[in-house]
């Protein structure tokens, strides 16, 4: 079946064609008819399966069709997502698919002034894509009316639970109409997800797209056993050996991200960092620079592991293994997208070996081990240390030279 065969608005079909959408993916094929019929959906699908379009296409069609017969000023659909970056990405998909239709969308999130967002809401919006924090803020202020919502979408619901929004989401139900359509999308399923999902949906159609190996077949996985204090030397080596490649490096904490970036800077390797301490504007600038390849290396915490579509990432390096083993799947999903090949390399210290075993259960097979000869290991560390010592010596010589020049000038005076 092709998108041209669906009974949806012709403008939407044209937009899909322009975007290169020809045949629906599995999640789209199974979700679109059910959503068009007005049924609740509980969908479990990994990142990169096309799930945003799976709910965007039918929602836009339904709202466009309703507006053709009547004019309403209330918000008809709320799409909740866990992060700013994902909100912008989802909104971009909606805008492209909704082009030339009667449907108006708005993206709202925290970290920026809210006045412009409130003004836009008062102008009349059909679909709001929002992060929970800002959505609840505006709702409590009376700027966002949830009482007439026709469709509620929770995207990346498992990540919203990880971020601690479960109580807010449950409390939100008292502001929503009981007679609504609810679409619940999650990359993973467990008892907490099930409880939340079934408290929101009503007789939902359950759709699960779960290949035997949840990670793209285009990704090659490898692990190197490297102790924690030595990881920076091996990262330097990889980045210098693949200077022309786009590399996404994942670390555990924002402090660690900056430390690793500083270590690479000392080795004359240009990097960018992405974590929750960055202002929203700066995060967008960083993401844009990395997407366009202006900087080849991005060092990030798991804020970038979910749903963000970054084109042409050649390597994902797990500098630290994730605290939650499931996040490995999301991290490495940033490479090997579509029909492209990608490589995932993990640095595993002695204390991280139990996490590695858990990760392997998600892959259904062992990760290829990179054998590093003891001599090669020591050479890598010693070479990097020599470079640092040389740089330190050069900087000391420069400082001494500058001081000597100052003293000479004083003597002349």
Structural domain boundaries in the chain = 3-209, 219-372
Intrachain domains 3-209 and 219-372 with the same fold:
yes
pLDDT given at position 261:
94
**Protein fold of 219-372:** Rossmann fold (3.40.50)
Predicted TM-score (pTM) of the model is 0.72
Contact 132, 168 (CB under 8 A): yes
pLDDT band at 226 (very low <50, low <70, confident <90, very high): very high
Give the CATH superfamily of 3-209. Answer: P-loop containing nucleotide triphosphate hydrolases (3.40.50.300)
pLDDT, tens digit, 9 for 90 and up, residues 120-169? 998 889 999 999 989 999 998 999 999 999 999 999 888 888 777 888 88
Using a 10 angstrom Cβ sphere, with 0-12 exposed, 13-18 middle and 19 or more buried, the burial of residue 238 is middle
pLDDT band at 305 (very low <50, low <70, confident <90, very high): low
Token couple for 170: 């449950």
Residue with tokens 């907490």: 192
Q: Provide CB contacts within 8 A for 226, sequence distance 6+.
A: 234, 347, 348, 349, 372, 377
- Strands (E) in 155-289, as ranges, are 181-186, 205-209, 219-225, 247-250, 272-274
Token couple for 206: 């359950």
């Amino acid at each position: 079946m092709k998108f041209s065969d669906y009974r949806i608005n012709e403008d939407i079909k044209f937009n899909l064609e322009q975007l290169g959408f020809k045949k629906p993916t599995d999640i789209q094929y199974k979700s679109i008819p059910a959503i068009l019929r007005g049924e609740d959906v509980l969908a479990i699908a990994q990142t990169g399966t096309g799930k945003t379009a799976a709910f965007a296409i039918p929602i836009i069609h339904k709202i466009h069709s309703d507006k053709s017969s009547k004019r309403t000023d209330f918000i008809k659909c709320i799409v909740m997502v866990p992060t700013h970056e994902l909100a912008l990405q989802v909104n971009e998909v909606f805008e492209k698919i909704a082009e030339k239709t009667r449907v108006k969308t708005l993206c709202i999130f925290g970290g920026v002034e809210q006045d412009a967002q409130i003004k836009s809401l008062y102008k009349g919006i059909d679909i709001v894509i929002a992060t929970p924090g800002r959505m609840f803020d505006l709702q409590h202020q009376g700027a966002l009316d949830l009482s007439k919502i026709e469709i509620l979408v929770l995207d990346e619901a498992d990540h919203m639970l990880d971020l601690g929004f479960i109580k807010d989401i449950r409390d939100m139900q008292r502001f929503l109409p009981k007679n609504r359509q609810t679409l619940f999308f999650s990359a993973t399923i467990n008892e907490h997800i099930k409880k939340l999902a079934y408290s929101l949906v009503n007789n939902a159609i359950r759709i699960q797209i779960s290949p035997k190996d949840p990670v793209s077949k285009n990704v090659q996985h490898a692990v190197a056993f490297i102790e924690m204090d030595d990881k920076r030397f091996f990262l330097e080596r990889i980045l210098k050996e693949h200077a022309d490649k786009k590399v996404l490096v994942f670390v555990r904490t924002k402090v660690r991200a900056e430390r690793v970036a500083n270590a690479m800077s000392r080795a004359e390797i240009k990097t960018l960092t992405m974590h929750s301490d960055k202002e929203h504007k700066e995060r967008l600038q960083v993401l844009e620079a990395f997407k366009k390849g202006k900087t080849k290396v991005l060092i990030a915490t798991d804020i970038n592991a979910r749903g963000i579509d970054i084109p042409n990432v050649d390597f994902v390096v797990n500098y630290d293994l994730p605290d939650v083993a499931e996040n490995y799947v999301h991290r490495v999903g940033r490479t090997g997208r579509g029909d492209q090949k990608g490589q995932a390399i993990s640095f595993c210290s002695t204390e991280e070996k139990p996490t590695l075993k858990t990760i392997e259960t998600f892959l259904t097979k062992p990760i290829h081990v990179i054998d590093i000869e003891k001599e090669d290991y020591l050479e890598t560390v010693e070479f990097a240390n020599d470079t640092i010592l040389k740089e330190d010596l050069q900087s000391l010589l420069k400082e001494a030279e500058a001081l000597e020049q100052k003293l000479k000038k004083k003597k002349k005076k």
